[in-house]
């Protein structure tokens, strides 16, 4: 049995500026009530502010007449949750920005109805558990000029309003996270000009996984609504631009493959693989760190259990269904160890499987990109299974069907 999970406060020291801002709440009634008084999260007020900032209300609802009910429920849940001052500031900004984005998307559809006729053809979608190579695979595929990934600034602000300062405006949501908790930079690099996950892209539908990722108080995602919004926002971004296949990514697609293929029947899914003794603890660690940026109160046992159950079921289920031929034969498998040994050869084989041309220029771009982004550039995210309530043996046993079907290489433990 693994030992009890160490509390977040015992793992990470908050930067002084974060600690001092959070302490402001004490002068207004205590850490939680004071934080609520200092930074309220009120659905009506947020919507009024968003509408005032973008102008006339749009005529359409972006294909989702019930979105306001979900937003109201989400805002109430987040307002009642134990967010500290900095956490409330981050969350309130995201809610307000997401509202503005949603209103501007609807207005874009009012002005250009042809957007709704855009076809999203043969997207390439990367998925797999954290620390299995999803991010670096995503970034290396992004170097292919025939693919287009949503960059952070356009995912957060897909429709310009006035002077186009979207890249500058997105810094607060991309680069501030590592200022709030410096260790996050070693976990995942966020930059305004880097491609981002579908989690970020779908936040304005208020049915996606962004909100449950950042707070345990948020409700469960609604995948049906999320994929509908996902397709619609890609249509807006694509309209009037050079036609290229979309490149997309998020681990959550593993749990919703039927909906993914129902939305994009000709998609190619790039599934990354790595020893679950490495990936599962990292998934818990990363999610806990994201939530720690906003609250002092995280139920780590609940988080560990939920992530372990969801990902174990998804990985074993995908292995079983692919073995039976129950899923479309449109998967490409990328193993983490192969990617480390020879990224060019690994991606060349992936392109051959997809029937795409892998150019010499793309190969050279990969070599150059990796040379300029060495492993550990921002420090090393170190962890063991035991630190997050697991054992390597237990993880490998519970995921034996997944490991066996895909021939996942097991890795030595380093302490």
**158-162, 307-311, 358-362: range with lowest mean pLDDT:** 158-162
For the segment 301-321, the average pLDDT, to the nearest whole number, is: 97
What's the CA gap between 342 and 352, in Å, rounded? Answer: 16
The per-residue pLDDT for 378 is 40
Sign of the dihedral defined by the CA atoms of residues 41, 283, 375, 383, in that order:
positive
Q: What is the pLDDT of residues 325-353, one digit of tens each?
A: 999 999 999 999 999 999 999 999 999 99
From the number of C-beta atoms within 10 Å of its C-beta (0-12, 13-18, 19+), residue 334 rates as buried
**At the topology level of CATH, where does 23-406 sit?**
Rossmann fold (3.40.50)
**94-98, 182-186, 197-201, 285-289: range with lowest mean pLDDT:** 182-186
The residue written with tokens 């005032």 in the block is: 52
Per-domain residue ranges for the chain? Answer: 23-406
The model's pTM: 0.94
Residue pair 106/60 in contact (Cβ under 8 Å)? The answer is yes
With pLDDT > 90 as the criterion, what percentage of the chain qualifies?
A: 86
**Cα 199–Cα 308–Cα 395 angle in degrees, nearest 5:** 130
Span between the terminal Cα atoms of the chain, in Å: 18
Residue pair 247/347 in contact (Cβ under 8 Å)? The answer is no
For the segment 65-83, the average pLDDT, to the nearest whole number, is: 97
Mean pLDDT of the chain: 93
Q: Which two tokens stand for residue 316?
A: 């074993």
175/316: higher pLDDT: 316
Residue pair 220/310 in contact (Cβ under 8 Å)? The answer is no
What's the CA gap between 107 and 112, in Å, rounded? Answer: 9
Q: What is the pLDDT of residues 355-406, one digit of tens each?
A: 999 999 999 999 999 998 766 554 456 678 999 999 999 999 999 999 999 9
Alpha helices in 239-342 (DSSP H): 257-263, 276-292, 300-324, 336-341
DSSP state letters, 146-195: TEE--BHHHHH--S--SS--HHHHTHHHHTHHHHHSTTHHHH----TTSB
Residues 6+ apart with CB under 8 A from 306: none
Q: What is the pLDDT of residues 8-27, one digit of tens each?
A: 999 999 999 999 999 999 88
SS3 state of residue 122? coil
Q: Name which of 305, 336, 331, 307 is nearest 319 in CA terms.
A: 331
Q: What is the pLDDT of residues 120-134, one digit of tens each?
A: 999 999 999 988 999
In 10 A of CB 368, how many CB atoms? Answer: 11
């Amino acid at each position: 049995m693994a030992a009890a999970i160490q509390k977040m406060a015992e793992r990470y020291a908050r930067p002084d500026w974060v600690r001092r801002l959070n302490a402001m709440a004490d002068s207004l009634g205590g850490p939680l009530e004071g934080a609520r008084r200092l930074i309220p999260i009120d659905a009506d007020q947020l919507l009024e502010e968003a509408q005032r900032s973008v102008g006339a209300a749009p005529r359409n609802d972006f294909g989702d007449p019930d979105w306001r009910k979900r937003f109201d429920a989400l805002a109430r849940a987040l307002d009642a949750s134990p967010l500290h001052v900095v956490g409330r500031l981050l969350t309130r900004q995201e809610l307000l920005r997401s509202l503005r984005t949603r209103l501007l998307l609807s207005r874009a559809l009012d002005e250009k109805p042809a957007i709704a006729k855009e076809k999203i053809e043969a997207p390439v979608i990367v998925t797999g558990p954290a620390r299995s190579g999803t991010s670096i695979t995503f970034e290396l595929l992004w170097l292919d000029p025939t693919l287009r990934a949503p960059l952070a600034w356009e995912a957060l602000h897909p429709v310009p309003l006035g002077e186009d300062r979207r890249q500058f405006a997105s810094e607060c949501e991309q680069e501030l996270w590592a200022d709030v908790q410096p260790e996050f930079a070693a976990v995942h690099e966020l930059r305004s000009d880097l491609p981002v996950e579908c989690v970020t892209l779908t936040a304005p539908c208020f049915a996606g996984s962004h909100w449950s990722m950042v707070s345990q108080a948020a409700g469960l995602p609604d995948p049906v609504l999320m994929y509908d919004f996902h397709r619609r926002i890609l249509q807006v971004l694509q309209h009037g631009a050079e036609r290229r296949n979309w490149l997309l990514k998020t681990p959550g697609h593993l749990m919703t493959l039927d909906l993914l293929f129902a939305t994009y029947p000709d998609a190619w899914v790039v599934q990354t693989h790595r020893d679950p003794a490495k990936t599962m603890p990292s998934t818990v660690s990363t999610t806990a760190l994201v939530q720690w940026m906003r609250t002092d109160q995280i139920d780590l046992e609940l988080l560990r259990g939920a992530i372990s159950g969801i990902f174990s079921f998804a990985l074993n289920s995908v292995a079983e269904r692919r073995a039976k031929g129950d899923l479309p034969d449109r998967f490409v498998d990328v193993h983490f160890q192969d990617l480390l040994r020879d990224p060019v050869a690994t991606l060349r084989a992936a392109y051959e499987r997809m029937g795409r041309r892998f150019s010499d220029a793309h190969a050279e771009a990969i070599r150059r990109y990796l040379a300029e982004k060495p492993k550990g550039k921002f420090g090393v995210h170190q962890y063991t299974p035991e630190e997050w309530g697991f054992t390597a043996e237990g993880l490998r046993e519970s995921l034996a069907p997944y490991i066996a079907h895909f021939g996942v290489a097991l890795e030595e433990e380093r302490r």
